Amino acid sequence: MSLRRFATVARGKYPLGDRIHGFVVRRALDVPEFSLTAVDLVHERTGASHLHIDRQDKNNVFSMVFKTNPPDSTGLPHILEHTTLCGSEKYPVRDPFFKMLNRSLANFMNAMTGHDYTFYPFATTNPTDFYNLMDVYLDATLNPLLSEEDFYQEGWRLEHEDTQDRASPLCFKGVVYNEMKGQMSDSGYWFWIKFQEAIYPSLNNSGGDPAKITNLVYEDLVDFHARYYHPSNAATFTYGSLPLERHLARINEKYARFGRRQRRQDVKQPIELRSNTSLSVAGPVDPLLPLERQYKGSLTWYCGRPDDVYETFVMRLVSNLLIDGHSSPLYQELVETGLGTDFSINSGMDSMTDVNMLSIGLQGMSEETAAKLPGTVRDAVQRAKTAGFAREKIDAMIHQLELGRKVESASFGLNLLSSLVPGWVNRVDPLEMLKWDNVIGRFRQEYAKQGDAMFTDRINEYILDAPYFHYTMFPDAGLEKQISGEEQRRLEKKIATLDESDKEVLYKRGLKLLENQSKQEDLSCLPTLSTADISRDGDSVRLKLKNTGATELQTRVSSKTNGLTYFRSLKTVSSSELPLELVKYLPLFTDCLTNLGTKNKSMAQLEDEIKLYTGGISPTVFSHSSPDDMNTAYLKFGLNGVALNGNFERLLDLSYQLLAETDFDNHDKLSVLVKTLTSDNISAIVSNGHSYARGYSAAQLSKSAKLQQLLGGIEQVSFLNELRELDEQNRLGEVSTALKRIQSILLGGSNFKFAVTTDRANVSTQEKLVARYGEQFQLRHAVSAYEMEMQQAAQDRVVEIAAQVSFAAAVASGSSYTCEDGPALQILAQLSTFKHLHSEVREKGGAYGGGATYDALNGIFAYYSFRDPNPARSIETFARSMGKIVDMIENEQITPEDLGQAKLSIFQNIDAPVSVRSEGATHFNYDVDDDMKQARRESLLDCDLHRAAIVGRKYFPTRLSNTIIGADPGVDWTKVSLGSRE
Ligand SMILES: [Zn+2]
């Protein structure tokens, strides 16, 4: 049996008790269902744990993991996470992660603070790079400098608004301070963090509550590091194909100076729930939505502990059965009936520290509905229990799990790490969490014996017979003012305690920080790869292309499909088929396909079939420029899916039903969908404002960007607002008409093409099935571009939204994908970010992020800032930036070494591993073939500084197209309002 064969792998390769560089093998486990071997080790002297996942995957992962219970809500663990990255003993440079970004080929580098843990992961396919980064990570966390200045810069400080002007008022500054202020203006985050603070007060707020952050003092930070960032309180994680022995040698070296301490395995508890408990808190108001429908609320039950891996799994199934998808009983009773616009964001099963919680809640409720929520939800659960859960539903759920396991992700190691860490730091055995077959096998057995009672018993025990926590958030129009008032009072109180000499100290400190930021650092201590580590030839993917005259079929044969077949279909939509005024309806159209149902089948029935026979069907719509010509834009609609090889025909059949038979006259369902889509737009803008700003600016310069803007930018948000009004006035009939027009256009059959990825044994069967699928359309092949008028001069615009933070973007046109200037522009974007904007916009300007990007396919060069307290200043910086970069090249302040680093950071993306599912996708979606990619690759590698400067001067100074999103920045530009309901 294969199981036995695998079992000997673990024992043979990793014998128990084996001593390797100060570590001892405690356990080894083969997990054949994931083709991996897990090895659990302990460092004998310090007690540090190490988990190694041996798997034939060259995308190797490393992570440092610390258990960090926040002692209060000052954001201590979060600020520590930031300040460890301000320099260490061996690498005494500011922001070594950021600086490693262009010395490495890592496809992922980050640091994250969770409820009660902090971890520092990276992933790379290059072995030299792996050990370079590992050393930087170990040194940053174990031996950081933690200077007082770093604390002021990253945490919080008092400083003059204009640092150099003593006459300007004092204000709070600091990277984390501003980051958390930004978070707080996201209403979704607000709902979630207030919920967590209420039910799990002992965990505090690890990110930091801005009102509390300013209580933190530097000594607390140093003290917290000394206590928690110690090997005895740490774990390390490695994943991939590199040998364990080498990992351990490096880690052991770094642990040399540490002894053993008592392990701080303090697992915090949530509030006790002896009887039903209610809590109501104030929340921010969304100006785009009616005030009377902005109540959010949830019921939460405790259901076991995360260290019981099997019980946790079964409770996840219970949660799925109750609330997942259209066919779930609670969706039908709570959302479809219009009691709320959608489930609340905390709905579902969450394993937090020491308890599993099942939450069911709604957003977009009226005050009355919110008040009655406990009765409504309990009654609905009661009815769902009485009705029972059909066998097919259970099968569908298990099918989804099995299929999910087979879909190979390019970031398997990172995903695994993220799923293990929260439990691992709280006594959940990571090896238990890996035993997938055991859990599923036990479930199948028990279900065969007990049937539905498996679920109904648990619903009784954990929900119907148990007390709940009822949480409500009511809209409070005064909240914003209250928050800024509190900040003002806190500021005044701090200032009142200052005498003249204190003020002198603050002023000088501000100047010192500013000076530090502009100081040229010696970075020679940092390890680095060189451009020689980038291979001249890119990976190519062998595709078979067949053109029948009427359509095209792209086939990819792969041995890594794990028994699955992937399908893509794509139609290029021309402007003569689909007029510009219909473009903004396309995202709604794609959502309708998976939300409305057909004339013959309800969405609930369809969804059950989709879950039983496929791994999902997803419609998509996007635009892009021609690789050869920036002024030619294509608009594309696609339908993608995956299924087990034997179910491929079902997948195609269901895809066709969705496209051809969706019932757009189902106004009840359409209304539910519109309410869901319009329930949280401000939140989306606030969390991703820089890309909205960038897209809004770009839309004035390029056809493809203008289409993108209609499909997913500010214009789409405005359209959603119109939709909401039509819904309120019962005028969805007009919308249905537009959607039916789109449906008939898409079924017209012109310019549809297909792609299939499968294994050799199945390829001819699947190709035949696709050909038969195509026969349902009258296929014609005549790809044409999307034509439209562009306005002549670009305007600078401010999009006003009620938020405490702003975003800025300044955009210029670049060149087409195949034009030789494109690679130089991409390099210039990197150089601008690293050599100019990072210090100007982030460090001096106080924005959380800022830089330049170059969209190679669409030829868009964009400067941006993220959560920017000073957007008008950033816009001025952007206008000067390219001139500055070209000067720096000419003055040799930018060196060939800098150029090499810019190239490394560009190739991190280009050479990031690709999953089987995505192989051939750029060719299929964007008509970019391997030859074009290779030519561009060589052009990037060969571009020198001289050439970059010439291209920089050629494209700049063109007038930039500027956008600011946020509160009024005091500029004299065209103001755009997203509408408000005053
Ligand atoms: Zn942060």
- Residues forming the active site: 81, 154
State the distance from the centre of ligand 1 to the C-alpha of 807, rounded, in angstroms: 17
State the distance from the centre of ligand 1 to the C-alpha of 154, rounded, in angstroms: 9
pLDDT in tens, 167-194: 999 999 998 998 898 888 778 899 999 9
Identify whether 764 is part of a domain: yes
State the distance from the centre of ligand 1 to the C-alpha of 178, rounded, in angstroms: 9
State the distance from the centre of ligand 1 to the C-alpha of 748, rounded, in angstroms: 50
| DSSP assignment of 749-771 | -BTEEEEEEE-GGGHHHHHHHHH
CA–CA gap between residue 512 and residue 508 (Å, rounded): 6
CA–CA gap between residue 335 and residue 163 (Å, rounded): 51
Identify whether 240 is part of a domain: yes
Do residues 756 and 810 share a domain?
no
pLDDT in tens, 398-450: 999 989 888 888 999 999 999 999 999 998 999 999 999 999 999 999 999 99
Identify whether 372 is part of a domain: no
State the distance from the centre of ligand 1 to the C-alpha of 804, rounded, in angstroms: 17
Please name the residues in contact with 465: beta carbons below 8 A apart, sequence gap of 6 or more: none
Q: Which residue, 876, 794, 864, 870, is CA-closest to 832?
A: 864
| DSSP assignment of 204-266 | --SS--HHHHTT--HHHHHHHHHHHSSGGGEEEEEEESS-HHHHHHHHHHHTTT---------
Residue 207, pLDDT above cutoff 50: yes
Q: Which residue, 783, 782, 680, 768, is CA-closest to 724?
A: 680
Do residues 754 and 826 share a domain?
no
The torsion angle over the Cα atoms of residues 967, 970, 974 and 977, rounded to 10 degrees, is 20
The structure's pTM equals 0.90
Q: pLDDT confidence of 982, banded at 50, 70, 90?
A: very low
- Mean pLDDT in residue range 12-18: 91
CA–CA gap between residue 341 and residue 600 (Å, rounded): 26
**Single residue among 710, 741, 774 that ends a domain in this structure:** 774
CA–CA gap between residue 795 and residue 711 (Å, rounded): 21
Phi, psi of 104 (to 5 degrees): -140, 165
pLDDT in tens, 121-173: 999 999 999 999 999 999 999 999 999 999 999 999 999 998 999 999 999 99
Share of the chain above pLDDT 70, in %: 98
State the distance from the centre of ligand 1 to the C-alpha of 191, rounded, in angstroms: 19
State the distance from the centre of ligand 1 to the C-alpha of 249, rounded, in angstroms: 31
Write out the E strands in 313-410. Answer: 342-343, 348-352, 355-365
The DSSP H or E segment spanning 570 is strand 564-573
pLDDT in tens, 837-864: 988 998 788 888 899 999 999 999 999 9
State the distance from the centre of ligand 1 to the C-alpha of 206, rounded, in angstroms: 10
Q: In degrees, to the nearest 5, what angle opens at C-alpha 884 toward C-alphas 879 and 885?
A: 110
Q: What is the pLDDT of residue 194?
A: 96
Identify whether 228 is part of a domain: yes
State the distance from the centre of ligand 1 to the C-alpha of 82, rounded, in angstroms: 6
In the DSSP assignment, the letter for residue 32 is: G
Q: What is the pLDDT of residue 6?
A: 46
Tokens 């590091």 -> residue = 225
Do residues 727 and 814 share a domain?
no
Do residues 592 and 696 share a domain?
yes
Asked if 941 and 534 touch (Cβ cutoff 8 Å), the reply is yes
Q: Which residue, 112, 56, 649, is CA-closest to 408?
A: 56
- Mean pLDDT in residue range 906-935: 94
Identify whether 913 is part of a domain: yes
State the distance from the centre of ligand 1 to the C-alpha of 691, rounded, in angstroms: 19
Residues with CB under 5 A from ligand 1 (ion): 179
Do residues 235 and 111 share a domain?
yes
Do residues 79 and 50 share a domain?
yes
Label each residue of 693-717 as H, E or C: HHHHHHCCCCHHHHHHHHHHCHHHH
945-955 vs 871-890: helix crossing angle, rounded to 10: 140
Do residues 819 and 742 share a domain?
no
Identify whether 81 is part of a domain: yes
Q: At 605, which CATH number?
A: 3.30.830.10
Do residues 760 and 885 share a domain?
no
Do residues 625 and 712 share a domain?
yes
- Domain region containing 79: 2-155+216-254
Structural domain total, the chain? 3
How long a stretch of residues is the chain? 982
Q: What is the pLDDT of residue 53?
A: 98
Do residues 624 and 671 share a domain?
yes
Q: Which two tokens stand for residue 619?
A: 């419609």
Q: pLDDT confidence of 778, banded at 50, 70, 90?
A: confident
Identify whether 931 is part of a domain: yes
Do residues 706 and 851 share a domain?
no
- Mean pLDDT in residue range 740-758: 93
pLDDT in tens, 693-706: 999 999 999 999 99
Please give the radius of gyration of the chain, using alpha carbons only, rounded to the nearest integer.
28
238-242, 803-807, 857-861, 929-933, range with the lowest pLDDT:
803-807
pLDDT in tens, 791-817: 877 789 999 887 777 999 999 999 999
State the distance from the centre of ligand 1 to the C-alpha of 414, rounded, in angstroms: 19
Q: pLDDT confidence of 979, banded at 50, 70, 90?
A: low
State the distance from the centre of ligand 1 to the C-alpha of 308, rounded, in angstroms: 32
Q: How far is CA 93 from CA 86, 147, 199, 525, in A?
A: 7, 12, 41, 9
Residue 980, pLDDT above cutoff 70: no
Do residues 726 and 798 share a domain?
no
State the distance from the centre of ligand 1 to the C-alpha of 856, rounded, in angstroms: 29
Instruction: Tell me the torsion sign for CA atoms 515, 516, 517, 518.
Output: positive
pLDDT in tens, 100-120: 888 999 999 999 999 999 999
**Single residue among 746, 774, 802 that ends a domain in this structure:** 774
The DSSP H or E segment spanning 200 is none
Cβ neighbours around 671 below 10 Å, total: 18
Identify whether 731 is part of a domain: yes
State the distance from the centre of ligand 1 to the C-alpha of 289, rounded, in angstroms: 30
**Single residue among 254, 282, 304 that ends a domain in this structure:** 254
